[in-house]
Amino acid sequence: MAWRSRTRSLQVFDTELSADAVEWCPVPQWDNVLVCGTYQLQKTPDEAGVGSASPSRVGRVYLFQFRQEGALCPPLTEVQRIDTPAILDMKWCHVPVSGLPLLGTATATGELKLYRLIDAQEGSCALEVLSSLELGPDRLALSLDWSTGRGDSSSGMRVVSSDSAGCVNVLSVGEAGLAAVSQWKAHDFEAWISAFSYWDTQLLYSGGDDCKLKGWDLRIRPSSPTFTSKRHTMGVCSIHSNPHREHILATGSYDEQVLLWDGRSLRQPLNESPLGGGVWRLKWHPTQEHLLLAACMHNDFHILHCQQALDGDGGACPVVASYILHNSLAYGADWSRLALGGPPPSSPREKAEGGGARTEVGGHLRIQYESPTASFDTSLEDEEGRYIPENSAPLVAPPPTPAKDAPSLSCLLATCSFYDHMLHVWRWDWSPEETSAAGAQGGAGDREKVGTIANKAEREEKSAAHLVQ
């Protein structure tokens, strides 16, 4: 029996400003709630008006509710928008606090802000500001993570954030809101990402534009890391602890690699998977320990099947699905915990013979390689304006076939892209089909492809000049 992997777009929303973060609420009663954060660099003439310009970074928080009300009704409804400084990252606390969900945002003014999700009239909801704290002057808050990733009690919860000064910041969360606990210099340039080990929240990980992945133990002085790895060859910009499998950590980098690590032995990664695009965000599935969602900047969004790697069998993690309908930098991505009702929608593009998984190689629009801070960019075209792919080979080996008694999967996801300022809500179905197509092999369904991109070594020159002064 063949298995079919299918992705289907459900709705597309124009965020007006460049979109770089999406997060589904993980708290069960509010698991139909979605937020999207935006980042826009605006240049305005200085007061003297003499040819120069000073940048202004603005953003917005969008709050949505998702409802399954039939094929003719758009499932996503905007219920609130809040203008803010530009947003670099946003995360929900994994457990309710005082009975309500909390959302944290990291902004371009170096401020962390907490919002409380409250019930509004007629079954709707709204965000209200609970607390805020500035990390320090002249810095951008680049990432945010909560210590509650395994859904543990909210007592003693903490938040970690990294910033453009290369620092890691730890904060406590109490009834009075955020309070600074410690701050230390962790990286030579931007500290793109910081994250808790969800199994031992005294342990932290951070990654920066100095190409280093570091570990920290809050029980000892953080001036010295517990380990430093230079296994990534470019800036480390994504880290996520597996909430289902102890010691497992996923990291991504501008070097286009996803590495899986065992926290007990960090000299070498368990696994290396090339994804053909800078890996800006990684998200483990909320219930399936082996599924990893990757936002790959110049190479779309992919779902990796990591079971063999987790079991120590080595080899690159195969891609079981790809979502390729964005036309710009793939930044924000998240899984929903909401259960989907009904069968997957049909597509007029499906072949009558069906049954297998296929790959397609598609083109890219003209884009520039740019970090969310909009501080540098590199063209991906040759001198005549032509796109330059390295090759067109499939990215990885065919994915494993699930066991005959394995349950089907239907997942709801949200992704967003930068320059086209688009939010997409889509579903992924992985299910058995009685009829198989001969010779159908590869990573994902009808509209899926595994692309490759141009060489981007120029972008990865490390210098303090990356920051906008």
Q: How confident is the model at residue 210 (pLDDT cuts 50, 70, 90)?
A: very high
- pLDDT tens digits, one per residue of 98-133: 999 999 999 999 999 999 999 988 789 999 999 999
Q: How confident is the model at residue 376 (pLDDT cuts 50, 70, 90)?
A: very low
Output the pLDDT for position 50: 52
**pLDDT for 172 beyond 70:** yes
Pairing type for strands 257-262 and 422-433 reads unpaired
Domains of the chain: 2-44+55-343+357-466 (2.130.10.10)
Q: Where is average pLDDT lowest: 134-138, 291-295, 317-321, 375-379?
A: 375-379
Output the pLDDT for position 362: 35
Output the pLDDT for position 313: 82
- pLDDT tens digits, one per residue of 430-453: 987 654 343 334 443 333 333 333
- pLDDT tens digits, one per residue of 272-284: 999 999 999 999 9
- pLDDT tens digits, one per residue of 381-425: 333 433 333 333 334 456 666 666 667 899 999 999 999 999 999
Percent of the chain with pLDDT over 70: 75
First to last CA, the chain: 59
Tokens of residue 46, six digits: 């200085």
Q: Which DSSP string do the residues of 38-96 spell out, in sequence order?
A: E-EEEEEE-TT-SS-EEEEEEEEEEEEEE----TTS-SEEEEEEEEEEPEEEEEE-SS-
pTM of the model: 0.83
More confident residue, 375 or 323: 323
- The backbone torsions φ and ψ at residue 18, rounded to the nearest 5 degrees and listed phi first, read -60, 125
**pLDDT for 311 beyond 60:** yes
Nearest in space to 252 (alpha carbons), one of 215, 283, 226: 283
**∠ CA(388), CA(394), CA(396), 5° rounding?**
125
Output the pLDDT for position 221: 81
More confident residue, 379 or 343: 343
Q: What distances in angstroms separate CA 218 from CA 196, 394, 414, one per listed residue?
A: 11, 43, 33
CB 446 within 8 A of CB 220: no
**H or E element that contains 310:** helix 307-310
Percent of the chain with pLDDT over 90: 67
Average pLDDT, the chain: 82
DSSP state of 176: T
**pLDDT for 456 beyond 70:** no
Residue 222 three-state SS: coil
Q: Which DSSP string do the residues of 101-131 spell out, in sequence order?
A: -EEEEEETTSEEEEEEEEE-GGG-EEEEEEE
